[in-house]
Chains A and B, each alone.
Chain A
Amino acid sequence: MAEGPRRRLQLMSILLIGLALVLVAQLTQVQVVNHQFYDDWGREQRERIIAVAAPPRGVIRDRNGCLLAGNEVMYAIEADTVYVVDVEGAAAQLAPLLHMPASQIARRLKSDAPWIQLASPVPKEVGERVAELGLQGITVCPLWVRRYPEGDLASHLLGFCNAEGRGFYGVEGFHDGLLQPKKVDRAGPVDLTSDQVPWTVAPVMLPQAGDELILSIDRTVQAVVEEELMRAVYQYQATSGTIIVMDPRTFEVLAMASLPDYAPGRYNEFYTFDRPPFDDPAVSKQYEPGSVFKVLTVAAALDSGAVTPEMTYYDQGWIEVGGVVIWNAYDMVGQHDVADILIHSLNVGAAWLSTRMGRDSFYRYVMAFGIGRPTGIDVAGEAAGQLWLPEDYEHWHDSNLGTNAFGQGLAVTPIQMIAAVATVANGGVRLRPHVVGQRIGPDGAVTAYRTVVEAQVISPETAQIVTDMMERAVEDAGRIGLEGYRIAGKSGTAQIPVPGGYDRERTITSFVGFGPLPDPQLIILVKLDRPGTSSWASETAVPAFRQLAERLFVVLGIPPDDSQMAQGAQAAVR
């Protein structure tokens, strides 16, 4: 080959090799060095996270299957402004459906934002009619909205769910994790308009609705309880009140109501910045229980062997414990046995019992009854109450041993108090109170509530003795008067602690009773705060209990004992 062409050929070869090297270098840069960046960039353009239509939140039902919290479908009307071709036409068609001026819709559709929400939430019918229009660039997205078909029934117990689908307070808050739907998101190819392209078969896994909860609540009992609570608060001019109805054999809550309440479907209308009324007072509001607590003191003293039922003491009307003089509410000077402490509600007698027991034994029993710590009920926001123990040397004083014995100087929640007394009704066995009876998974698997035994606090024999004493207390007082039903119970009129002492005028009145004996099926706690007509439980909480128990025995089909039934039948025949 001649010299000239050879040189040119070499030059061309070097040029081509150089170009090839540049290309290889660039490819290495793209494919190796910046591989991740370009891989992500590409995926970002061709793939989107495709959320399969969200399933609903789990529903809540009462023990008979009646819906207490369900889901309603509403729609959000949205627009991809880039893809809206005929803005004026779309606005004119949407205006009458969305009840918005066409000019306003058109102005929004012409905005620079690539995505706008025109209206949300709109009713199902409106959403479906907008979808039928088939307007380009207008999308209709279904939304789940929580609904409470029973209105404000059991509002505190249920809690509520916000617009984002999160549960707060009550059962909604406590079991939010179970009620939340299990969403399924997956990456998939999309076209230019971000619509899904089915190049790949969708995964078989579908999103699952949240678990369904079957409560132990009976909505009819709940309605009766709320009606009676409303009547009692109004009749006795109380500022607020709480009623709990429970089955003492299982510690299932049948009804739980507090006033003032709210409507969970319109919770935002009830919100106040300083004191939102959403906490359930039945599990979160602490109060000094007063004389109802004597039931626990008597049970503890008898069970520990510190006293026997026959043992008597001389009541001089006062007793000094830790330098503090404790007085009876009434003049009851004389010889009394242990039952009299409940029958006549003797503060001095209660303090005598606790001092005979000694502080270690007394507080061991008080804690075993569940005082001073949450019961573990499955309702959000439960408070622990307040119980100072001798080792809390900054707060506990020797006098506490005497005052605590009749329910002063400590604080309980209504659920703690009823659970403690239910322990006596249940043969001395304390169970964990609960409101959820069953859980049904999205696959239909049923998980029943498993009874949790907390402690055998007192012996069955002691429980029977205390029950008999409580029955005598009710009979001797003669205020319950439910013909054909044997009831055991104890009332309490508690002073309200204020800075520097106790309120001199206002009280908290309560009554806890269970029946019908000998196999109690119901235990009821009635608590009224600051009643205006009378300061005494005997004139407020006790008649409220009587009225409620009378109705509940009928609603639940609990007949009076045989002799009473026979008399009733004869009267009916006559």
Chain B
Amino acid sequence: MPNFMEWATHGIKRGRFEMDHCMVMRVGAVVVTVTLLAALYLALVSQTAARGRHIQQLQAELSRLQRDSEQLEVDIARAGSISSLRERALALGLGAAEEVVFLPLTAP
């Protein structure tokens, strides 16, 4: 491998670059700007992720509450169903009225 590299680069004159001060300043400015932009981007992304996670948690909580609410409503409806009420009424010794009389209300 060293022989190959030597063979490939033999006779190539290495160039010399002189550092231009102005050029260094410009490159430095670009690097700083890019770094700032990257930091801003990272901050935004992390904030977005945090909010996304919070929304996920809220959605999960909402679903859980909705499930509990639906379950409670079914339980209440079962407890107050016609058949349950009839059973409880019979257990209390209540029965259907044998005769119903409507009484007229006269205005005073």
Contact = CB atoms under 8 A, between A and B. Distances in A.
A52 B59 contact: yes
- Which one of A124, A150, A562 has the highest number of Cβ atoms from chain B below 10 Å of its Cβ? A150
Contacts of B100: 554
Contacts of A9: 11-12
B88 interface: no
Interface residues of A, number: 49
A66 B70 CA distance: 14
Interface residues of B, number: 38
Interface string B68-86: 1011011011101111000
Contacts of B23: none
Chain A binding surface, main DSSP class: mixed
A467 B80 CA distance: 40
Interface in A44-66: 52-53, 55-56, 59, 66
A55 B102 CA distance: 48
Contacts of A66: 77, 80
Interface string A555-574: 00001101001101101100
Given A198-B53, A202-B56, A219-B82, A8 B74 contact: no
B67 A200 contact: no
B8 A12 contact: yes
A71 interface: yes
B63 interface: yes
A223 B82 contact: yes
Interface in A181-240: 196-202, 206, 209, 219-220, 223
A568 B102 contact: yes
B101 A569 contact: yes
A203 to B, nearest CB: 9
Nearest to B62: A206
Nearest to A568: B101
B104 A565 contact: yes
Given A52-B59, A559-B102, A569-B104, A202 B11 contact: no
Given A151-B83, A199-B45, A566 B59 contact: no
B77 A70 contact: yes
Nearest to A75: B67
A90 interface: no
Contacts of A124: 67, 71
B49 interface: yes
B70 A73 contact: yes
A568 B48 CA distance: 76
Contacts of B83: 150-151, 153
Contacts of A134: none
B104 A572 contact: no
Given A142-B67, A569-B103, 8 more contacts: A5-B10, A52-B59, A66-B77, A73-B68, A151-B83, A198-B49, A201-B51, A223-B82
